[in-house]
Structures are given as structure tokens and as C-alpha cells.
Structure 1
Amino acid sequence: MKEEIIIAGFGGQGVLSMGKILAYSGIMQDQEVSWMPSYGPEMRGGTANVTVILSDNKISSPILNTFDTAIILNQQSLDKFEDAVKPGGLLLYDPNGIVNPPKRKDINIFKIEGAEEAAKMGNPKTFNMIVLGAFLKVKPIVKTENVKKGLEKSLPERYHKLIPLNIEAIEKGQEVVQEIQKV
């Protein structure tokens, strides 16, 4: 198994931490992992993306031009990465702020109303975990118990009290993800 993922959106949406949690979860499953963040000079509101590779074998390079999965959280990222999804691959997006939805016919497309569901949960910071849950429903490449271990590893100890809320958000994402197009 090898999964090459790009997660992209605005800074402040939890893009990098979502990638980090996914990477730690892969480590907990004894997978080879690569986590490579990229972000603009702005702390919040600038563009941010992270490439995550999970593999059963050695990873030769963290630099990718095409991806098995793109998790897209804003229009800029959709414009930039939609064409980089491999044919038959997966594009998961949050429609909040997306004016022109994905148009490709040769990829699987799923939608998650992450921002809306986070607001319903009363905590906008759960947004990225809702999106991660949606991804793991569509492609269960790491087990939920390893995601919990990944959260414990990536979150500072003072935030461990938030792990149950994060797990709840992951479960919510798994419940509400919507299939738009299956190839």
C-alpha cells in the first residue's frame, strides 16, 4: 500500500496539523511516512498545503507532482491541485468558499461540509478533524485507534483533554461525507 496525499487550504484551517496527525497515525501502524509542509509567509489566511505519503515500503522522495488523494479546503487550492490528482484518484473538498466545484470526470469526488458541521458542534476548531474523518471513511488507510495515538503524539499534553472532542469530530465527518462522483 502506498498513498500519496496533498492537503491544501488557508493557514488557520488546520491543514498542517491534519497532515501531521495522519502521518503520526501511519507511524503507529508501522508504515513508512513522509510529511512535507508548505505555506506562505502569513500565519493565518495565507495558503498552506502539506504532502503526506504513507507506504508499506521505503519512500524514495517526498516531492510529488501527482497525488492519489487531494483534500481541498479553498478555491485557490482546488484551482491549483485538481489537475494533479491521478486518474481514478480521490478529490475530497469542503464547499465553503468554493465557487467553481471540481469538474473532472475521471476521479472520485466527495464533499464534506466540514465548516458547517464544526459550527453545529459548537467548535470551529474541529473543522480539520471532521474533514480527516470524511477522508478516512472514504479511504480507511489508518485505523481509528491509531488516529487517537497520532493525536496523543502530535498534540501537546496540555491539549490531551481535547482528544475525545477530536475523535467525536472524526466520527461526525465519517457520518456526513457525501459522494458526488464515483468512477
Structure 2
Amino acid sequence: MEKRILIGGSGGQGILFMGKVIASAAMLDGKNVTWFPSYGAEMRCGTANCAVVISDEPIGSPVFSSADILVVFTEASLQKFTPRLNKDGYLLYDSSLITHDSSIHNGAIGINVTALARELGNTKAANMIMLGAAAAITGLLAKEDLFSAIESDMSECMLKALSINKRAILKGYEIVENQENSYFRHRVCT
């Protein structure tokens, strides 16, 4: 099994952190992992994306041309990275910030993560809500491994955000499990 994940958005949205948590959780599950961050020189509000590869086998390169899972938080990232998504891949996008034409990709799933994060009291938690939703949709990562991954980051900033991040991950799982229509915007299946 090898899964290639591409996450795109703007600096300050937690794009790189989301990828780092995915990589850490997969390592805790005993998988081989690469995490390849990329960001614009301006950081906050500039472009940001990262590529994560998870595999049972050794990984030859962190660089890939096509993704199995694409997660985007901005319209620009949607336009830039959708051509790299496999035909049968997952496209998850923040429907709070992106107006998506479902003809771009079948199976696209919009989740109103920014609005949900606002309800939790911190819009910076949108990335963790999306992470929980992506894990629930794909079945790729266990909830316990995600929690362990965020608990292992002992920086002062992350320790302050630990509680909200855990609640946000749980909210992502909950939205998918209940498919709450007010947050779960599109799902076009073929």
C-alpha cells in the first residue's frame, strides 16, 4: 500500500502542520513516510503546500506527479493541484472558502471547516477538523495515532493548542460519520 497526499493552501492555515501530523501518525502506525513541505517566501498569507507519502514499503522519493488524496484550503490551490489528482482519488476542500464546481472532479467533498472551527472558538483549528474528516473518509489513519502525533509536539505553542486540536479532530470525524448536510457540502459519486 502506498498513498500520496497533497495539501495546499496559504501560509497561516496550518498546511505544513497538518502534513507533519499525518506523517507522524503514519510513523506511529509503523509505516514508511516522507513529508515534503513547500512555502512561499512571505509565509503567512503566501502559498503553502506539502506532500506526504505513506507506504508499507521503502519510499523512493518524496516527490510525486499524481496524488491519491488532495486537500485544499484555497481556490488557487484547487486550481493548481486538481490536475495532479488521480481519477479515483479523494478531493477534500474547505467549502467555507472555496466555491467548487463539481465537474472539476467526481467524488469531491466540501466540508465547511472554517465555519466549524469558528464555532469551536478558533479558526486556526480548521486544518485539524479537515484532518479528522480526511482520516474518517479514507480510513488511512487511526484517531489514536493522530492524537499521539499532536501530543508528541512539545513546543509551547502546540501545548497551548492541544485541547482545541483534539476537539477539532473529533469534530472532523463526527461531521463525516453523521454527514451533517449543513457542513458536508458536496459529494458526487460515480
The TM-score by the shorter chain falls in which range? Answer: over 0.9
AA matched with 2:107: N
> Gaps spanning 5+ residues in structure 1: where?
none
**Which whole-Å CA distance do the structure 1 matches of 2:154 and 2:132 have between them?**
17
Partner of 2:175: 176
Partner of 1:153: 152
AA matched with 1:180: R
1:102, CA displacement in angstroms?
4.4
**Could you report, residue by residue, the CA deviation over 1:134-155 in whole angstroms, capped at 9, with x for unpaired residues?**
1011012111111111112235
Contact 1:72 1:94 in 2 (8 A): yes
> Gaps spanning 5+ residues in structure 2: where?
177-183
Partner of 1:104: 104
Match runs of 1:1-183 below 5 Å: 1-105=1-105, 107-156=106-155, 159-177=158-176, 178=184, 180-183=187-190
**Which whole-Å CA distance do the structure 1 matches of 2:157 and 2:114 have between them?**
25
Contact 1:74 1:96 in 2 (8 A): no
Q: Secondary structure at the match of 1:61?
A: coil
Q: Secondary structure at the match of 2:53?
A: strand
Give aligned-pair identity as a percent. Answer: 36
1:23, CA displacement in angstroms?
0.3
1:158, CA displacement in angstroms?
6.0
**Which whole-Å CA distance do the structure 1 matches of 2:79 and 2:189 have between them?**
20
**Which whole-Å CA distance do the structure 2 matches of 1:82 and 1:102 have between them?**
12
Structure 1 moving runs of 4+ over 6 Å = none
Contact 2:102 2:188 in 1 (8 A): no
Contact 2:8 2:15 in 1 (8 A): yes
Q: Secondary structure at the match of 1:163?
A: helix
**Which whole-Å CA distance do the structure 2 matches of 1:39 and 1:102 have between them?**
27
* TM-score normalised over the length of structure 2: 0.89
Tell me the C-alpha RMSD between the 2 structures.
1.6
Q: How many residues align?
A: 182
**Which whole-Å CA distance do the structure 2 matches of 1:154 and 1:53 have between them?**
20
Change (3 A) 1:57 1:116: same
**Could you report, residue by residue, the CA deviation over 1:100-125 in whole angstroms, capped at 9, with x for unpaired residues?**
434235x4211111100011111112
Contact 1:2 1:53 in 2 (8 A): yes
